[in-house]
Amino acid sequence: MKTDIRIYHGDIVFAPSAKKLEENEDSYIVVEDGTVSGIYEHIPDDMKALPVTDFGRNLITPAFSDLHVHGAQFVQRGIAMDCLLKDWLNDYTFPQEAKFKDPEYGKLCYDAFVEDMLRHGTFHANVFTTVHRETSEYLFHTMEKKGMYGFVGKVNMDCHCPDYLKEDTDRSLRETEEFLAGHTRPGKVRPILVPRFAPVCSEKLLKGLGALARKYQCGIHTHLVESRWEAATALECFPGYESDAQIYEKTGLLGHGPSIFAHVIFPTGQDTEILKHYESFAVHCPEATNNVIAGIMPLKRLEIEDVKVAIGTDVGAAGSLAVYRQIAKAVQLSKLKEFYEPGEGKTITLAQAFYHATKQGGELFGKVGSFEKGYRFNALVIENMEDPWSPLSAAKRLERFCYAGDDRNIMERFIDGVMLPKLA
């Protein structure tokens, strides 16, 4: 079979580790059948006859991974940002999510949501939907059709929530199993279990989901110690449990697939040990936690304790699906964390934040998020962004994009080596 070889020239930058950005200016990246085979200062002799797509001094970077985002909240992005979590949920979010009972409403929102993710360079996403199976299925298939990598799950909640969203426990489990059973074949978009968070789930529901996790070897995506209110309420609802993470462990939800916990702002030592034991992801959502949760993840401490950290937008608690903006905000919030809570965490670098948003977050989906040999060429071409009289390194131009850029600076997008059509 003939190999499809593509060669792209530009200023190539990626983060193979949290310690540094690797810059390959004025270089060539060779892509064979959608996979990176190497980066070179000069085109290899045996490839000199092949055509080259030249992006000049524009940046070529890996695409982003968003490990915690609410597709159904896309329509409420940037709204009610003066509320704290409990009021934000009850007064705005839950009424909004109830509208997804209407399939046509859900389709309109999810179409716009997926298109906007692609526009901002997010090609891999772990997505919350709502309790409604039909519209959750629609999002799953829409992401598949676009070629994205993802995890999608139907939300579960059967107590301590508005009646118009409260599920019957048995029906919730039955519909969840139908969702899982319909997506057993391998694919780039996969199902995941989504108990919203412990306070709105009964023990019977979580244990039932634990049984489904074992049966279908399925992972879990939920919120964890995201606010002092949520952390305290979880333990009130589950007397006899010692920590938020232990609730999911003891109900059998961990160890059957990936476990992704959003926010992790107030983890106990036991929470951290459980996350580490199951190689879970703690997802930092800087803008969202600043808006409605009022806390900052101890990112550096979690990293030191060998907990995997990824980045999420958490739209609609954030105003945008731009993961690159969350990279900048992660650095900003780490400074505040260090200033106001000395010893809780150190200031992180742009390289570290970029690593969490690309390579480490990408681990959830396979070999994406980097340009090392064997990684899929899921990539962005970003405008130079330097002033003509003041040249900057590739790393500095990437930093400027994260702080001052937007989707209009993304010139081209590639998934599995295929250039996407121009977005409207």
Residue 259 sits in the same domain as residue 374 = no
Residue type, 17: S
Q: What is the pLDDT of residue 341?
A: 84
Position 423 confidence tier, pLDDT thresholds 50, 70, 90 = confident
Q: How many CA atoms lie within 13 A of 365 on its CB side?
A: 34
Tell whether 136 is covered by a domain. Answer: yes
Residue 424 lies in a domain: no
Render pLDDT for 270-315 as a digit per residue (tens, 0 to 9).
Answer: 999 999 999 999 999 999 988 988 789 999 889 999 999 999 999 9
pLDDT surpassing 90 at residue 344? no
Residues 354, 268, single domain; the answer is: yes
**Number of structural domains the chain divides into:** 2
**Which stretch of DSSP H or E encloses residue 194?**
strand 194-195
Could you tell me if residue 274 is inside a domain? Answer: yes
Query: Per-residue pLDDT tens for 362-377?
Result: 999 999 999 999 999 9
DSSP label at 200?
G
Residue 178 pLDDT exceeds 90: yes
Please report the pLDDT score of residue 295 as a whole number.
Answer: 86
Peptide bond preceding 316: is omega within 30 degrees of 0, i.e. cis?
yes
| Same domain flag for 73 and 208 | yes
Q: Please give the share of the chain, as a percent, with pLDDT higher than 90.
A: 91
327, 349, 365 - which closes a domain: 365
Cα separation values, 8 from 3, 283, 299, Å: 16, 32, 35
Comparing 29 with 85, the larger pLDDT belongs to 29
136 and 152 inside one domain: yes
Average pLDDT of 357-361? 98
Say yes or no: 37 and 165 in one domain.
Answer: no
Greater confidence (82 vs 325) lies with 325
**144 exposure class (CB count in 10 Å sphere: 0-12, 13-18, 19+):** middle
Amino acid identity of residue 53, one-letter, is T
* Mean pLDDT of the 403-407 span: 97
- CATH number for the domain harbouring residue 378: 2.30.40.10
136 and 22 in a single domain? The answer is no
Mean pLDDT of the chain: 96
- Model pLDDT, residue 278: 98
pLDDT > 90? residue 86: no
What CA–CA distance (Å, rounded) separates 418 from 175? 36
Instruction: Please check whether residues 87 and 146 belong to one and the same domain.
Output: yes
Last residue of a domain, one of 342, 365, 388: 365
Structural domain span for residue 109: 64-365
Residue 343 has pLDDT above 80, yes or no: no
CATH number at residue 326: 3.20.20.140
Confidence at residue 286, expressed as pLDDT on a 0 to 100 scale: 96
Residues 73-88 have a mean pLDDT of: 91
pLDDT of residue 84: 87
Cα dihedral 332, 262, 341, 351 in deg (nearest 10):
-40
Tell me whether residue 263 is in a domain: yes
Final residue before a domain boundary, out of 319, 341, 365: 365
Better pLDDT: 79 or 114: 114
pLDDT confidence bin for 43, thresholds 50/70/90: very high
Please give the structure tokens belonging to residue 49. 């006859």
Q: What pLDDT is attached to residue 150?
A: 98
pLDDT at 292: 87
Residue range 48-63: mean pLDDT, rounded: 97
- State the pLDDT at residue 340: 86
- Predicted confidence (pLDDT) at residue 1 exceeds the cutoff of 70: no
Whether 85 shows a pLDDT value over 80: the answer reads yes
Q: Per-residue pLDDT tens for 120-142?
A: 999 999 999 999 999 999 999 99
On the question of pLDDT at 259 being above 80, the answer is: yes
- How confident is the model over 24-33, as a mean pLDDT? 98
Tokens of 254: 């961990």
Reported pTM:
0.97
Return the pLDDT at 46.
Answer: 93
Reduced to 3 states (helix: H, G, I; strand: E, B; else coil), residue 372 is coil
Q: Are residues 273 and 415 in the same domain?
A: no
